[in-house]
Structure 1
Amino acid sequence: MAWLKKLVGAVVILGGVGAVAGWVLSAPVTLDRETLAKLGPGDAARGKRIFYAGGCTSCHAKPGSQGDARLQLVGGLELKTPFGTFVPPNISQDPRDGIGAWSVEDLANAMLKGVSPSGEHFYPAFPYASYARMNPADIGDLYAFLKTLPAVAGKAAGNSLGFPFNIRRGIGLWKLLYLSDQPAVAFPEGKPDPVMAGRYLVEGPGHCGECHTPRDLAGGTKKNEWLAGAVAAEGNGVVPNITSGEGGLAEWSEADIANYLETGFTPDFDSVGGAMVDVQRNMAELTPQDRAAIAAYLKAIPAHPNGYPARKKTAN
């Protein structure tokens, strides 16, 4: 029986080592001093552009709000996913219920590293896996703009997650696989400036890949099917392919895409619908140059087949 005791002892030791390693590897990581120094003083006018490019109102405005009420960022929208229901929080300037007490460094760590001021992981339903590609100076500008918006009291409901997804520490291991500041699409040298500007807007603040790219079992986006379309997170319907090939935007010109982002009308005069209504409303706030850059990028990226199953045909 001595061998059995040794085996049990070895298993216990290995289990302990694995647990310690997992705990260390899953620890929240915050920004270094060099990156924090790039945040700058912040410019609210430039920050307004980042605010709308990032679609902050789409998730953080009170559901159903219209007009200026959409700038009351009280949260409350329910995002139903296979992992549970996530509820975007109040990010208004209320110091108790919102983020009014946050520093610019707090906002930068949240958006670029997915770490809260208290040192906990945020769930990646908050799309920091895309925001990680943003320039720190843009975070500083966004912070300055957020400071101009109203404080609204009231906490949004909490997330509703079952085990093991309710253990935030595990998100640290997810980040090791999926959190990177590298671009999703690497272009060769010499790409025109509009394409590169569009890449920044789409892959970073615009976080288009969060909905338009298929995900694997762990919830990470599949970079080899970037923007190929996906089954909607709630499981009903699909988010379309927006690559440049068949099934995507092959028949759309850059002007068609830019016009759609501005007006909400497709080339065949259909109108925007579903969750894209809020996205298009935000895109309309950008400059014509920004919308043209987004269009140039979408026409320049590799084409992919649809990243979702073909719809079954119904009998007549």
Structure 2
Amino acid sequence: MKKRWIGLVVVALVGAATAVYFLKPVAGPERDLTLVGDATRGDYVMRLAGCVACHTDAAAGGIELAGGAGLETAFGTFVPPNITSDPKAGIGTWTLEQFSDALSNGMGPQGHLYPAFPYENYALMSDQDVVDLYAALMKTQPSPAPAAESSVPFPFNVRLIMAGWKNLFFSPRRFEPEAGKDEVYNRGKYLAMGPAHCVACHTPRNALGALEWDRAFAGSPGGTGGKAPPLTREALVAEGYDVAMLAQTLKDGFTPGFDVLGGPMGEVIADSTSFWTDEDLNAVATYLMAE
């Protein structure tokens, strides 16, 4: 009987320790949110970060930023929400602190956010970019129409399980320039790994939907991350790209083989990269084509 009680106590202690580990908060460095936001610059950050492409259902004639088309994954269909300044359907009542927490730590007013929202990448963003983006979104035209509901089955609809996922796979940090590389390369790396989150789409994911960082830009065969080609230097060179051609493709969608990119990448070009400065297009191309 005594051994049985000891066994139960051990199991209880192990269970409690496991729960503490998997439910503990995951947060990155504190941000300086006293910075003054520039809404005009934030409009550009919005294009860098792909907000319009993801949060607008253009194919259905949806209002800009009022909710995107559903993203189908192995865990359910996630619908990008309304992020206009509407106080009910959108994020008009969010404080800068709440907005920053969502981008930096994957925590929204409703609880843990799913990594279908690429907060792993947005966490790398600079404090100024976050503050400027918030200023821009707060000045958008409010849309009172709520986005469609996501369709996520049990148990994935229990947001609390995301605490465990974060403790396993999420290590929020800020971008740090790579030593020995110039400003153009590091700007491109910041964009591709951070706000533009190229790595999120063009990298395979494991069975739990986490990015396989050791295979960054190796391409996604489908499934949770969707299907996307590799963006390694070797793959790009094989397709006929150099820095100038890759930058041009990101601007107008025309490939070295005289094709036009469509599908999700076509949307990204139409609503995001075609708005980038030539300097940023060149920076991303330089980073991806680097040896």
Q: Verify same fold: TM over 0.5.
A: yes
The structural deviation recorded for 1:39 is 5.3
C-alpha separation between the residues in 2 aligned to 1:166 and 1:130?
23
The counterpart of 2:190, out of the listed 184, 200, 210, is 200
The counterpart of 1:287, out of the listed 254, 277, 287, is 277
The counterpart of 1:125, out of the listed 116, 121, 124, is 116
Kindly provide the amino acid, as one letter, of the partner of residue 167 in structure 2: L
1:188-231 CA deviation, whole Å, 9 max, x = no partner?
x2212111000111100011111100001111111111011012
C-alpha separation between the residues in 2 aligned to 1:235 and 1:31?
24
C-alpha separation between the residues in 1 aligned to 2:274 and 2:221?
26
C-alpha separation between the residues in 1 aligned to 2:6 and 2:202?
46
C-alpha separation between the residues in 1 aligned to 2:223 and 2:177?
27
C-alpha separation between the residues in 2 aligned to 1:185 and 1:239?
27
Q: Quick check: 2:112–2:163 contact (8 Å CA) kept in 1? A: yes
C-alpha separation between the residues in 2 aligned to 1:200 and 1:76?
25
Superposed, 1:25-40 pairs within 5 Å as 25=21, 26-29=23-26, 35-38=30-33, 40=35
C-alpha separation between the residues in 2 aligned to 1:225 and 1:235?
14
Structure 1 gaps, min length 5: 302-316
Normalising to structure 2: TM-score of the pair? 0.90
C-alpha separation between the residues in 1 aligned to 2:214 and 2:96?
34
Kindly provide the amino acid, as one letter, of the partner of residue 240 in structure 1: P
Q: Quick check: 2:175–2:190 contact (8 Å CA) kept in 1? A: no
C-alpha separation between the residues in 1 aligned to 2:176 and 2:93?
36
Normalising to structure 1: TM-score of the pair? 0.83
1:233-289 CA deviation, whole Å, 9 max, x = no partner?
4697x31011101x3444311000100011110122210111001111210111000
Q: 1:241 to 1:186 in 2, by over 3 A?
A: farther
Query: Which structure: larger Rg?
Result: 1
Is 1:86 the counterpart of 2:75 in the alignment?
Answer: no
Query: Superposition RMSD on alpha carbons, in Å?
Result: 2.4
The counterpart of 1:6, out of the listed 3, 7, 15, is 3
The structural deviation recorded for 1:38 is 4.3
C-alpha separation between the residues in 1 aligned to 2:107 and 2:129?
18
Structure 2 gaps, min length 5: none
Is 1:21 the counterpart of 2:17 in the alignment?
Answer: yes
Q: 1:75 to 1:298 in 2, by over 3 A?
A: same
C-alpha separation between the residues in 2 aligned to 1:43 and 1:128?
22
C-alpha separation between the residues in 2 aligned to 1:76 and 1:257?
27
Q: Quick check: 2:106–2:112 contact (8 Å CA) kept in 1? A: yes
Is 1:224 the counterpart of 2:219 in the alignment?
Answer: no
Q: Provide the residue aligned with 2:287 in structure 1.
A: 297
Superposed, 1:82-231 pairs within 5 Å as 82-118=74-110, 120-182=111-173, 187=178, 189-231=179-221
The structural deviation recorded for 1:106 is 0.9
Q: Quick check: 2:201–2:225 contact (8 Å CA) kept in 1? A: no
Kindly provide the amino acid, as one letter, of the partner of residue 148 in structure 2: A
The structural deviation recorded for 1:23 is 3.9
The structural deviation recorded for 1:184 is 9.4
The counterpart of 2:260, out of the listed 271, 274, 291, is 271
Q: 1:215 to 1:185 in 2, by over 3 A?
A: farther
The structural deviation recorded for 1:154 is 2.1
Instruction: Name the SS of the counterpart of 1:80 in structure 2.
Output: strand
The structural deviation recorded for 1:147 is 1.7
